[in-house]
Amino acid sequence: MAHSRREAVRATRQITIVNKLGLHARPAAQFVRRANAFRSEIWIVTKAGRFSALSLIDVMRANLDCGTVATLEAHGTDADEAVERLAKLVKELPDYDD
């Protein structure tokens, strides 16, 4: 019996943080919740290092202020979809006033 198995792929996408307050607490939490919906391992890469997009603490440590340019990296069966949807989310996150 043949199984249709999706192979793990690697995908990257450059993002720019446009939220005027950056990826602070609320938008970071929303981003992490969405990232955790994917099966892939997902990272945010900045000049400061590589941070897990699946961890709120890591996303906060990435210091993603407005104007920051970063790279989303994903590795897994849904990597392309993950970077595409997360990049779109970053563009659309509302400017909460914490």
Q: Which residues contact 92 (CB under 8 A, 6 or more apart)?
A: none
Identify the active-site residue in 24, 35, 74, 82: 24
Whether 24 sits among the annotated catalytic residues: the reply is: yes
Measuring CA to CA, how many Å separate 87 from each of 36, 42, 71, 73, 78? 14, 12, 9, 11, 14
Return the active site residues.
24
